[in-house]
Amino acid sequence: MNKPGVIDREGLNRLIQTLIGRGYQVVGPTVRDEAIVYDNVFSIEDLPAGWTDEQEGGTYRLKKRSDDALFGYTLGPHSWKRFLHPPERRLWQAQKDSLDFDIVPEQPDNTKYAFLGMRSCELHAIAIQDKVFIQSPHTDLHYQSLRQNALFVAVNCGQAGNTCFCVSMQTGPKVEAGYDLVLTEILDDSHHSFLIEAGSEAGKNILEEVKAGPAGAGEIKKAEEIVTNTAKQMGRAMETGNIKELLYENLEHPAWGEIAERCLSCANCTMVCPTCFCSTVEDVTDVAGDHAERWQKWDSCFTMDFSSIHGGAVRNSTQSRYRQWMTHKLASWQDQFDTSGCVGCGRCITWCPVGIDLTREVAVIRESTTCQEENFSGSEAQNENS
Protein backbone atom coordinates (compact mmCIF):
# COMPACT_ATOMS: atom_id res chain seq x y z
CA MET A 1 0.00 0.00 0.00
CA ASN A 2 2.91 2.34 0.69
CA LYS A 3 6.66 2.07 0.92
CA PRO A 4 8.04 0.17 3.91
CA GLY A 5 9.82 2.13 6.62
CA VAL A 6 12.17 1.17 9.42
CA ILE A 7 11.88 1.79 13.15
CA ASP A 8 14.11 0.79 16.04
CA ARG A 9 13.06 -0.35 19.54
CA GLU A 10 12.28 3.25 20.48
CA GLY A 11 10.19 3.56 17.33
CA LEU A 12 8.22 0.49 18.40
CA ASN A 13 7.67 2.16 21.75
CA ARG A 14 6.45 5.27 19.90
CA LEU A 15 4.03 3.08 17.97
CA ILE A 16 2.58 1.71 21.23
CA GLN A 17 2.30 5.24 22.71
CA THR A 18 0.67 6.52 19.50
CA LEU A 19 -1.94 3.77 19.66
CA ILE A 20 -2.63 4.44 23.35
CA GLY A 21 -2.83 8.19 22.58
CA ARG A 22 -5.48 7.46 19.95
CA GLY A 23 -7.65 5.65 22.48
CA TYR A 24 -6.66 2.06 21.69
CA GLN A 25 -6.31 -0.60 24.36
CA VAL A 26 -3.08 -2.21 23.19
CA VAL A 27 -2.96 -5.99 23.72
CA GLY A 28 0.17 -7.93 22.89
CA PRO A 29 2.46 -10.76 23.96
CA THR A 30 3.78 -10.80 27.51
CA VAL A 31 5.22 -13.43 29.86
CA ARG A 32 2.90 -14.72 32.57
CA ASP A 33 2.75 -18.05 34.42
CA GLU A 34 5.67 -19.41 32.38
CA ALA A 35 3.93 -18.87 29.04
CA ILE A 36 3.64 -16.09 26.48
CA VAL A 37 0.06 -14.86 26.69
CA TYR A 38 -1.86 -11.87 25.31
CA ASP A 39 -2.54 -9.06 27.77
CA ASN A 40 -2.47 -5.27 28.04
CA VAL A 41 0.80 -3.75 26.87
CA PHE A 42 1.87 -0.22 27.84
CA SER A 43 5.44 -0.10 26.50
CA ILE A 44 8.05 -2.39 24.95
CA GLU A 45 9.08 -3.29 28.53
CA ASP A 46 5.97 -5.50 28.67
CA LEU A 47 6.99 -7.56 25.61
CA PRO A 48 8.75 -10.95 26.01
CA ALA A 49 12.28 -9.65 25.28
CA GLY A 50 14.77 -12.48 24.93
CA TRP A 51 12.21 -15.29 25.35
CA THR A 52 11.27 -18.08 23.00
CA ASP A 53 9.15 -21.19 23.30
CA GLU A 54 9.82 -24.87 22.66
CA GLN A 55 6.78 -26.86 21.65
CA GLU A 56 5.90 -30.47 20.87
CA GLY A 57 2.79 -32.60 21.17
CA GLY A 58 1.67 -32.08 24.79
CA THR A 59 4.69 -29.90 25.65
CA TYR A 60 5.29 -26.16 25.96
CA ARG A 61 8.36 -24.62 27.62
CA LEU A 62 9.71 -21.07 27.71
CA LYS A 63 13.40 -20.76 27.05
CA LYS A 64 15.85 -17.85 27.08
CA ARG A 65 17.22 -16.77 23.71
CA SER A 66 20.76 -15.61 23.18
CA ASP A 67 19.47 -12.22 21.94
CA ASP A 68 16.88 -9.59 22.87
CA ALA A 69 14.26 -10.38 20.21
CA LEU A 70 10.82 -9.05 21.14
CA PHE A 71 8.86 -11.40 18.85
CA GLY A 72 11.25 -14.37 18.89
CA TYR A 73 8.62 -16.95 19.92
CA THR A 74 5.90 -18.73 17.92
CA LEU A 75 2.44 -18.92 19.54
CA GLY A 76 1.18 -19.32 23.09
CA PRO A 77 -2.04 -20.78 24.49
CA HIS A 78 -4.04 -17.59 23.95
CA SER A 79 -5.59 -16.55 20.68
CA TRP A 80 -7.25 -13.23 19.87
CA LYS A 81 -10.69 -14.84 20.05
CA ARG A 82 -10.58 -14.36 23.83
CA PHE A 83 -10.96 -10.61 23.17
CA LEU A 84 -13.33 -10.56 20.17
CA HIS A 85 -15.39 -13.57 21.36
CA PRO A 86 -14.66 -13.64 25.12
CA PRO A 87 -14.88 -16.86 27.18
CA GLU A 88 -17.91 -15.49 29.01
CA ARG A 89 -20.14 -12.46 28.69
CA ARG A 90 -23.55 -11.38 29.91
CA LEU A 91 -26.25 -11.27 27.22
CA TRP A 92 -29.06 -9.67 29.21
CA GLN A 93 -30.48 -9.08 32.68
CA ALA A 94 -34.09 -9.31 33.89
CA GLN A 95 -35.37 -7.32 36.88
CA LYS A 96 -38.67 -8.14 38.55
CA ASP A 97 -41.02 -5.34 39.62
CA SER A 98 -44.31 -5.70 41.50
CA LEU A 99 -46.33 -7.14 38.59
CA ASP A 100 -43.94 -7.83 35.73
CA PHE A 101 -40.24 -7.89 34.85
CA ASP A 102 -37.99 -5.71 32.68
CA ILE A 103 -35.41 -7.09 30.28
CA VAL A 104 -32.22 -5.06 30.13
CA PRO A 105 -30.20 -6.03 27.04
CA GLU A 106 -26.40 -5.76 27.15
CA GLN A 107 -25.00 -2.99 24.96
CA PRO A 108 -22.32 -3.99 22.41
CA ASP A 109 -18.77 -3.45 23.72
CA ASN A 110 -17.14 -0.43 22.03
CA THR A 111 -13.59 -1.06 23.26
CA LYS A 112 -11.00 -0.08 20.65
CA TYR A 113 -8.44 -2.89 20.70
CA ALA A 114 -5.07 -2.67 18.97
CA PHE A 115 -3.67 -6.20 18.72
CA LEU A 116 0.13 -6.17 18.56
CA GLY A 117 2.14 -9.13 17.30
CA MET A 118 -0.54 -10.99 15.34
CA ARG A 119 0.75 -13.77 13.14
CA SER A 120 -0.45 -14.56 9.64
CA CYS A 121 -2.31 -17.72 10.73
CA GLU A 122 -4.09 -15.65 13.40
CA LEU A 123 -5.30 -13.11 10.84
CA HIS A 124 -6.66 -16.03 8.80
CA ALA A 125 -8.38 -17.38 11.94
CA ILE A 126 -10.13 -14.04 12.48
CA ALA A 127 -11.23 -13.99 8.83
CA ILE A 128 -12.81 -17.41 9.49
CA GLN A 129 -14.56 -16.18 12.65
CA ASP A 130 -15.83 -13.16 10.67
CA LYS A 131 -17.69 -15.61 8.44
CA VAL A 132 -19.32 -17.17 11.49
CA PHE A 133 -20.18 -14.04 13.45
CA ILE A 134 -20.64 -11.31 10.84
CA GLN A 135 -21.07 -12.77 7.35
CA SER A 136 -23.93 -15.04 8.36
CA PRO A 137 -27.70 -14.56 8.72
CA HIS A 138 -27.24 -14.18 12.51
CA THR A 139 -24.79 -11.35 13.19
CA ASP A 140 -23.21 -11.30 16.63
CA LEU A 141 -23.45 -7.56 17.42
CA HIS A 142 -20.91 -7.78 20.24
CA TYR A 143 -18.29 -9.38 17.99
CA GLN A 144 -19.14 -7.03 15.13
CA SER A 145 -18.66 -3.93 17.29
CA LEU A 146 -15.28 -5.08 18.65
CA ARG A 147 -14.14 -6.24 15.24
CA GLN A 148 -15.00 -2.97 13.50
CA ASN A 149 -13.11 -0.94 16.12
CA ALA A 150 -10.03 -3.18 16.19
CA LEU A 151 -6.65 -2.35 14.68
CA PHE A 152 -4.27 -5.15 13.70
CA VAL A 153 -0.48 -4.78 14.01
CA ALA A 154 0.92 -8.02 12.63
CA VAL A 155 4.41 -9.53 12.72
CA ASN A 156 5.97 -11.80 10.13
CA CYS A 157 7.15 -14.97 11.85
CA GLY A 158 10.93 -15.11 12.27
CA GLN A 159 10.83 -18.78 13.28
CA ALA A 160 8.39 -21.67 13.10
CA GLY A 161 7.48 -23.97 15.98
CA ASN A 162 7.60 -27.75 16.02
CA THR A 163 3.81 -27.95 15.87
CA CYS A 164 3.29 -25.27 13.17
CA PHE A 165 1.93 -26.23 9.73
CA CYS A 166 0.62 -22.95 8.27
CA VAL A 167 2.42 -23.63 4.98
CA SER A 168 0.22 -26.73 4.44
CA MET A 169 -2.91 -24.68 5.19
CA GLN A 170 -1.73 -21.75 3.01
CA THR A 171 -2.16 -19.34 5.91
CA GLY A 172 1.43 -18.21 6.49
CA PRO A 173 4.05 -17.51 7.55
CA LYS A 174 4.06 -14.27 5.49
CA VAL A 175 1.42 -11.74 6.46
CA GLU A 176 -0.37 -10.89 3.25
CA ALA A 177 -3.85 -9.55 4.00
CA GLY A 178 -6.15 -8.29 6.72
CA TYR A 179 -3.61 -6.16 8.61
CA ASP A 180 -3.31 -2.43 9.31
CA LEU A 181 0.42 -2.53 9.97
CA VAL A 182 2.96 -5.32 9.61
CA LEU A 183 6.39 -5.58 11.21
CA THR A 184 9.37 -7.81 10.45
CA GLU A 185 11.90 -7.99 13.26
CA ILE A 186 15.49 -7.75 11.98
CA LEU A 187 18.12 -8.63 14.51
CA ASP A 188 21.85 -9.20 14.19
CA ASP A 189 24.96 -8.50 16.26
CA SER A 190 24.85 -4.76 15.65
CA HIS A 191 21.26 -3.91 14.66
CA HIS A 192 17.81 -4.39 16.12
CA SER A 193 15.14 -2.86 13.91
CA PHE A 194 11.70 -3.50 12.45
CA LEU A 195 10.64 -3.17 8.86
CA ILE A 196 7.16 -1.63 9.04
CA GLU A 197 4.53 -1.44 6.33
CA ALA A 198 0.94 -0.18 6.26
CA GLY A 199 -1.89 -2.32 4.87
CA SER A 200 -4.81 0.11 5.34
CA GLU A 201 -5.55 3.82 5.50
CA ALA A 202 -5.73 3.59 9.31
CA GLY A 203 -2.28 1.97 9.39
CA LYS A 204 -0.86 4.56 7.02
CA ASN A 205 -2.18 7.36 9.19
CA ILE A 206 -0.59 5.88 12.32
CA LEU A 207 2.69 5.25 10.52
CA GLU A 208 2.92 8.94 9.62
CA GLU A 209 2.74 9.84 13.29
CA VAL A 210 5.32 7.21 14.27
CA LYS A 211 7.80 8.71 11.80
CA ALA A 212 9.60 5.67 10.44
CA GLY A 213 12.83 6.13 8.55
CA PRO A 214 13.07 4.97 4.91
CA ALA A 215 13.85 1.27 4.45
CA GLY A 216 16.94 0.41 2.42
CA ALA A 217 17.08 -2.36 -0.19
CA GLY A 218 19.22 -4.43 2.20
CA GLU A 219 16.58 -4.30 4.95
CA ILE A 220 13.76 -5.22 2.56
CA LYS A 221 15.80 -8.19 1.25
CA LYS A 222 16.67 -9.30 4.79
CA ALA A 223 12.99 -9.21 5.82
CA GLU A 224 12.06 -11.36 2.81
CA GLU A 225 14.79 -13.87 3.66
CA ILE A 226 13.53 -14.12 7.25
CA VAL A 227 10.04 -15.14 6.22
CA THR A 228 11.31 -17.47 3.46
CA ASN A 229 13.49 -19.28 5.98
CA THR A 230 10.59 -19.57 8.42
CA ALA A 231 8.50 -21.26 5.72
CA LYS A 232 11.23 -23.92 5.43
CA GLN A 233 11.18 -24.67 9.18
CA MET A 234 7.60 -25.95 9.62
CA GLY A 235 7.56 -28.61 12.33
CA ARG A 236 4.51 -30.36 10.88
CA ALA A 237 2.86 -30.78 7.49
CA MET A 238 -0.58 -31.94 6.44
CA GLU A 239 -1.55 -33.24 3.01
CA THR A 240 -4.84 -31.44 2.32
CA GLY A 241 -5.73 -32.74 -1.19
CA ASN A 242 -9.30 -34.17 -1.16
CA ILE A 243 -9.27 -34.05 2.63
CA LYS A 244 -13.03 -33.52 2.79
CA GLU A 245 -13.76 -36.62 0.72
CA LEU A 246 -11.08 -38.59 2.60
CA LEU A 247 -12.74 -37.93 5.96
CA TYR A 248 -16.33 -38.33 4.75
CA GLU A 249 -15.43 -41.70 3.21
CA ASN A 250 -13.75 -42.91 6.40
CA LEU A 251 -16.31 -42.18 9.12
CA GLU A 252 -16.03 -45.81 10.30
CA HIS A 253 -12.24 -46.03 10.11
CA PRO A 254 -10.59 -47.93 13.02
CA ALA A 255 -8.33 -44.89 13.62
CA TRP A 256 -11.17 -43.09 15.44
CA GLY A 257 -11.34 -45.89 18.03
CA GLU A 258 -7.58 -45.86 18.45
CA ILE A 259 -7.56 -42.08 19.05
CA ALA A 260 -10.40 -42.47 21.57
CA GLU A 261 -8.21 -44.77 23.66
CA ARG A 262 -5.85 -41.83 24.19
CA CYS A 263 -8.24 -38.84 24.13
CA LEU A 264 -9.35 -37.58 27.56
CA SER A 265 -12.28 -35.56 26.15
CA CYS A 266 -10.81 -32.64 28.11
CA ALA A 267 -11.75 -30.01 25.46
CA ASN A 268 -8.34 -28.26 25.60
CA CYS A 269 -8.02 -28.47 21.81
CA THR A 270 -11.23 -26.52 21.28
CA MET A 271 -10.42 -23.91 23.93
CA VAL A 272 -7.02 -23.03 22.43
CA CYS A 273 -8.17 -23.25 18.79
CA PRO A 274 -8.46 -19.74 17.29
CA THR A 275 -11.39 -20.72 15.05
CA CYS A 276 -13.58 -22.86 17.36
CA PHE A 277 -16.59 -20.69 18.17
CA CYS A 278 -19.16 -22.85 20.00
CA SER A 279 -20.84 -21.45 23.07
CA THR A 280 -23.65 -22.28 25.47
CA VAL A 281 -25.87 -20.10 27.66
CA GLU A 282 -26.40 -20.27 31.40
CA ASP A 283 -29.15 -18.52 33.35
CA VAL A 284 -28.57 -17.42 36.94
CA THR A 285 -30.92 -15.79 39.45
CA ASP A 286 -30.50 -14.25 42.87
CA VAL A 287 -31.85 -16.12 45.91
CA ALA A 288 -35.02 -13.99 46.09
CA GLY A 289 -35.79 -14.56 42.41
CA ASP A 290 -35.96 -10.79 41.68
CA HIS A 291 -33.00 -10.61 39.36
CA ALA A 292 -31.90 -12.96 36.59
CA GLU A 293 -29.05 -12.91 34.09
CA ARG A 294 -28.22 -14.89 30.94
CA TRP A 295 -24.52 -15.55 30.27
CA GLN A 296 -22.88 -16.85 27.13
CA LYS A 297 -19.89 -19.14 27.77
CA TRP A 298 -17.47 -20.99 25.52
CA ASP A 299 -18.53 -24.58 25.04
CA SER A 300 -16.89 -27.55 23.37
CA CYS A 301 -18.08 -30.43 21.19
CA PHE A 302 -16.00 -32.64 23.52
CA THR A 303 -18.43 -32.24 26.44
CA MET A 304 -21.24 -34.76 26.84
CA ASP A 305 -23.86 -32.02 27.28
CA PHE A 306 -22.95 -30.38 24.00
CA SER A 307 -24.92 -32.86 21.90
CA SER A 308 -27.62 -33.41 24.48
CA ILE A 309 -31.17 -33.27 23.14
CA HIS A 310 -34.33 -34.89 24.55
CA GLY A 311 -33.45 -38.44 25.50
CA GLY A 312 -29.69 -37.86 26.00
CA ALA A 313 -26.49 -37.04 24.17
CA VAL A 314 -26.21 -37.81 20.46
CA ARG A 315 -22.44 -38.25 20.61
CA ASN A 316 -21.98 -40.23 23.78
CA SER A 317 -18.56 -41.77 23.05
CA THR A 318 -15.14 -40.10 22.91
CA GLN A 319 -14.69 -41.70 19.51
CA SER A 320 -17.75 -39.93 18.10
CA ARG A 321 -16.76 -36.61 19.71
CA TYR A 322 -13.20 -36.61 18.33
CA ARG A 323 -14.48 -37.64 14.90
CA GLN A 324 -17.05 -34.83 15.02
CA TRP A 325 -14.35 -32.27 15.92
CA MET A 326 -11.82 -33.28 13.31
CA THR A 327 -14.29 -33.83 10.46
CA HIS A 328 -15.92 -30.48 11.24
CA LYS A 329 -12.55 -28.65 11.27
CA LEU A 330 -11.24 -30.17 8.08
CA ALA A 331 -14.28 -31.26 6.07
CA SER A 332 -17.81 -30.11 6.94
CA TRP A 333 -16.49 -26.60 7.75
CA GLN A 334 -15.81 -26.35 4.02
CA ASP A 335 -19.47 -27.12 3.26
CA GLN A 336 -20.66 -24.72 5.94
CA PHE A 337 -18.32 -21.73 5.47
CA ASP A 338 -16.50 -22.41 2.20
CA THR A 339 -13.14 -22.59 3.97
CA SER A 340 -11.16 -24.98 6.15
CA GLY A 341 -11.70 -24.53 9.89
CA CYS A 342 -7.99 -25.05 10.54
CA VAL A 343 -5.22 -22.50 9.99
CA GLY A 344 -2.33 -24.76 11.01
CA CYS A 345 -1.36 -22.89 14.19
CA GLY A 346 -0.59 -26.17 15.99
CA ARG A 347 -2.09 -25.10 19.34
CA CYS A 348 -4.35 -28.16 19.58
CA ILE A 349 -1.26 -30.38 19.27
CA THR A 350 0.86 -28.49 21.81
CA TRP A 351 -1.90 -28.11 24.39
CA CYS A 352 -3.37 -31.61 24.12
CA PRO A 353 -2.26 -33.24 27.40
CA VAL A 354 -1.65 -36.54 25.63
CA GLY A 355 -0.18 -35.03 22.45
CA ILE A 356 -2.87 -36.10 19.97
CA ASP A 357 -1.84 -34.61 16.65
CA LEU A 358 -4.42 -34.05 13.91
CA THR A 359 -1.70 -33.98 11.22
CA ARG A 360 -0.70 -37.50 12.24
CA GLU A 361 -4.29 -38.73 12.46
CA VAL A 362 -5.06 -37.47 8.95
CA ALA A 363 -1.86 -39.13 7.69
CA VAL A 364 -2.83 -42.46 9.32
CA ILE A 365 -6.24 -42.45 7.61
CA ARG A 366 -4.77 -41.32 4.28
CA GLU A 367 -2.00 -43.91 4.37
CA SER A 368 -4.34 -46.81 5.14
CA THR A 369 -6.66 -45.71 2.33
CA THR A 370 -3.74 -45.51 -0.10
CA CYS A 371 -2.57 -48.98 1.00
CA GLN A 372 -6.08 -50.37 0.44
CA GLU A 373 -6.16 -48.82 -3.05
CA GLU A 374 -2.71 -50.24 -3.85
CA ASN A 375 -3.70 -53.69 -2.58
CA PHE A 376 -6.90 -53.49 -4.63
CA SER A 377 -5.14 -52.50 -7.87
CA GLY A 378 -2.43 -55.10 -7.10
CA SER A 379 -4.98 -57.90 -6.78
CA GLU A 380 -6.83 -56.70 -9.90
CA ALA A 381 -3.56 -56.88 -11.86
CA GLN A 382 -2.95 -60.37 -10.47
CA ASN A 383 -6.42 -61.48 -11.53
CA GLU A 384 -5.85 -60.16 -15.03
CA ASN A 385 -2.52 -62.01 -15.27
CA SER A 386 -3.85 -65.34 -14.03
Residues that bind ligand SF4 (CB under 6 A): 263-269, 272-275, 302, 329, 342-348, 352-354, 356
Q: Tell me the closest approach of the beta carbon of residue 81 to ligand SF4, in angstroms.
A: 10
Nearer to ligand SF4, 313 or 354 (CB): 354
Tell me the backbone φ, ψ of residue 151, rounded to 5 degrees: -120, 135
CA angle, 176 then 347 then 138, to 5°: 70
Tell me the backbone φ, ψ of residue 78, rounded to 5 degrees: -80, 150
Q: How many CA atoms lie within 13 A of 8 on its CB side?
A: 5
Nearer to ligand SF4, 170 or 285 (CB): 170
Q: Tell me the closest approach of the beta carbon of residue 332 to ligand SF4, in angstroms.
A: 14
Q: Which residues pair with 88 in a beta bridge?
A: 297
Q: How many CB atoms lie within 10 A of CB 39?
A: 13
Nearer to ligand SF4, 181 or 342 (CB): 342
Confirm if 299 and 278 have CB atoms less than 8 A apart.
yes
Confirm if 51 and 40 have CB atoms less than 8 A apart.
no
Nearer to ligand SF4, 85 or 329 (CB): 329
The Cα–Cα gap between 296 and 192 comes to 44
Q: Tell me the closest approach of the beta carbon of residue 214 to ligand SF4, in angstroms.
A: 37
Nearer to ligand SF4, 111 or 250 (CB): 250
Nearer to ligand SF4, 86 or 355 (CB): 355
Q: Tell me the closest approach of the beta carbon of residue 342 to ligand SF4, in angstroms.
A: 3
Q: Tell me the closest approach of the beta carbon of residue 70 to ligand SF4, in angstroms.
A: 23
Task: Give 196's contacts (C-beta < 8 A, 6+ positions apart).
Answer: 4, 5, 6, 7, 11, 15, 181, 182, 183, 207, 210, 212
The Cα–Cα gap between 28 and 362 comes to 33
Nearer to ligand SF4, 104 or 264 (CB): 264
Q: Tell me the closest approach of the beta carbon of residue 142 to ligand SF4, in angstroms.
A: 22
Q: Tell me the closest approach of the beta carbon of residue 262 to ligand SF4, in angstroms.
A: 7
Q: Tell me the closest approach of the beta carbon of residue 353 to ligand SF4, in angstroms.
A: 6
Nearer to ligand SF4, 81 or 142 (CB): 81
Q: What is the DSSP string of 10-45?
A: HHHHHHHHHHHHTT-EEEEEEEETTEEEEEE--SGG
Cis peptide before 173 (omega within 30 of 0): yes
